Amino acid sequence: TTATIAASVGLTNHICGFSIRANATAAATGNATVTGGISGTMNFTQWTAPLASGVGVVEMVFSPCIPASAANTAIAVVSAAPGAGGTVSVTSWGYRQ
């Protein structure tokens, strides 16, 4: 699952944070990534909770916000696959300047 801050001609995206929530039949761990930022691809350990335990949460807030590698560049937050019987949601937030 991916949340994207879409590219916009003549403007630079900035990501200020993201939230990933996931559960599945069995617990799992994988890497979530943020691509398109000035610092290159960033990796974050994502835990998927087993259904009986609730929801695994990965949230990051960037202060200051991280700019894209160039103007007119999208920033994408990509979750790890949750596994069998899984559900995942991804949200990102930021601004364009």
Spell out the per-residue pLDDT of the chain, length 97, in tens.
Answer: 999 999 999 999 999 999 999 999 999 999 999 999 999 999 999 999 999 899 999 999 999 999 999 999 999 999 999 999 999 999 999 999 9
Q: Is the pTM of this model over 0.85?
A: yes
Helix, strand counts (H, E) of the chain:
0, 7
Rounded CA gap, 47 and 30, in Å? 7
In this structure, the chain runs to a length of 97
The number of C-alpha atoms within 13 Å of 10 and in the hemisphere containing its C-beta is 0
